[in-house]
């Protein structure tokens, strides 16, 4: 890499880093010089492909299997990442699940899974990472623009989980600020991924509501995460920053 690497010497953990936004974040942080641990739940091949790509570009990465719905596995993941690289500086809570259902069809099981993965995993990760993060540490959660606005039917459960991580982010900013650690949430709008492809059913409904009339690209989220993880964002904390093509404009 010829450019100055802003994250040289830092260690990052990206949950759900095997595909989509998580993979883009892992690659971007590595390109800025961070050593990257990433977790996956069910796609080891994809995760190891991300690791291989990072290594082929001169970076250092490792993949760990962890079920985000299990807080004990999340805690072990954080400690394994810190042990592997000897430290932990950046936690990116990216693992997530999206259920689109009317309230009458949300079973207790579906409700619990959504909150376990989208909220409790974030909580468990931060609780454990607090033991490792020092001055200059970074906690970044991938939320959703639906944490502010729900422009479609069936999105209440998902939105509630994303509102929850906003609440955690604001509260944690107060807790961690005196330690020199920032806590922020990045809220993507429609991003072209397997979960919500630009060619998918949602696109005709969502695109007319955007100021920039196209789906976002994963690197456009990753670039903001890298900025928040780096040395030029020291006074930004407790913030919810949209990467949404103006959906909220």
Taking the mean position of all CA atoms in its chain, how far away is CA 239?
A: 14
Taking the mean position of all CA atoms in its chain, how far away is CA 172?
A: 16
Is residue 248, in this structure, part of any structural domain at all?
Answer: no
Cβ–Cβ < 8 Å for 36, 59: yes
pLDDT value for 178: 98
Is residue 57, in this structure, part of any structural domain at all?
Answer: yes
Q: What is the pLDDT along the chain (249 residues), one digit of tens a residue?
A: 446 899 999 999 999 999 999 999 999 999 999 999 999 999 999 999 999 999 999 999 999 999 999 999 999 999 999 999 999 999 999 999 999 999 999 999 999 999 999 999 999 999 999 999 999 999 999 999 999 999 889 999 999 999 999 999 999 999 999 999 999 999 999 999 988 899 988 899 889 999 999 999 999 999 999 999 999 999 999 999 999 999 999
Is residue 72, in this structure, part of any structural domain at all?
Answer: yes
Residues annotated as catalytic are: 158
pLDDT value for 196: 86
pTM of the model: 0.97
Dihedral pair phi/psi, residue 46, rounded to 5°: -65, -45
Is residue 147, in this structure, part of any structural domain at all?
Answer: yes
Is residue 111, in this structure, part of any structural domain at all?
Answer: yes
Cβ–Cβ < 8 Å for 182, 173: yes
Hey, what's the torsion of the CAs at 154, 156, 157, 158, to 10 degrees? 90
Is residue 84, in this structure, part of any structural domain at all?
Answer: yes
Contacts of 96 (CB under 8 A, 6+ apart): 16, 117, 118, 142
Is residue 6, in this structure, part of any structural domain at all?
Answer: no
Tokens standing for 42? 């069910």
Q: If DSSP codes are grouped into helix, strand and coil, which group holds residue 178?
A: helix
pLDDT value for 85: 98
Q: Following DSSP, what letter does each residue of 144-155 receive, concatenated?
A: -GGGT---STT-
Is residue 39, in this structure, part of any structural domain at all?
Answer: yes
**Burial class of residue 45 (count of CB atoms within 10 Å of its CB; 0-12, 13-18, 19+):** exposed
Cβ–Cβ < 8 Å for 20, 193: yes
Tokens standing for 30? 């590595």
* Structural domain of 188: 11-243
CATH number of residue 81's parent domain: 3.40.50.720
pLDDT value for 185: 98
Q: What is the rounded distance in angstroms from the CA atom of residue 74 to the CA atom of residue 54? A: 23
Hey, what's the torsion of the CAs at 172, 75, 186, 9, to 10 degrees? 100
Give the strand pairing for 182-188 and 240-243. Answer: parallel
pLDDT value for 111: 98
Report how many domains make up the chain. Answer: 1
Q: What is the rounded distance in angstroms from the CA atom of residue 228 to the CA atom of residue 234? A: 8
pLDDT value for 1: 42
């Amino acid at each position: 890499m010829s450019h100055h690497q802003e994250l040289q010497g830092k260690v990052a953990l990206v949950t759900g880093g095997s595909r989509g936004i998580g993979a883009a974040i892992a690659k971007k942080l590595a390109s800025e010089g961070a050593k990257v641990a990433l977790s996956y739940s069910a796609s080891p091949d994809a995760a190891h492909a991300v690791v291989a790509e990072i290594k082929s570009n001169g970076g250092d990465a490792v993949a760990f299997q962890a079920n985000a719905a299990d807080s004990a596995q999340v805690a072990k993941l954080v400690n394994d990442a810190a042990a592997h690289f000897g430290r932990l500086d950046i936690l990116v809570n990216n693992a997530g699940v999206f259920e689109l259902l009317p309230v009458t069809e949300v079973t207790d099981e579906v409700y619990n899974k959504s909150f376990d993965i989208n909220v409790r995993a974030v909580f468990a990760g931060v609780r454990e990472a607090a033991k490792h993060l020092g001055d200059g540490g970074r906690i970044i959660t991938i939320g959703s623009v639906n944490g502010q606005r729900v422009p479609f039917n069936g999105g209440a459960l998902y939105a509630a989980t994303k509102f929850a991580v906003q609440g955690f982010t604001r509260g944690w900013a107060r807790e961690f600020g005196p330690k020199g650690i920032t806590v922020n949430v990045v809220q993507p709008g429609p991003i072209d991924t397997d979960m919500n492809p630009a060619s998918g059913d949602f696109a005709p409904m969502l695109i007319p509501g955007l100021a920039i009339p196209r789906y976002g690209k994963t690197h456009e989220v990753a670039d903001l995460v890298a900025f928040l993880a780096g040395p030029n964002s020291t006074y930004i904390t407790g913030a919810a920053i949209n990467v949404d093509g103006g959906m909220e404009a």
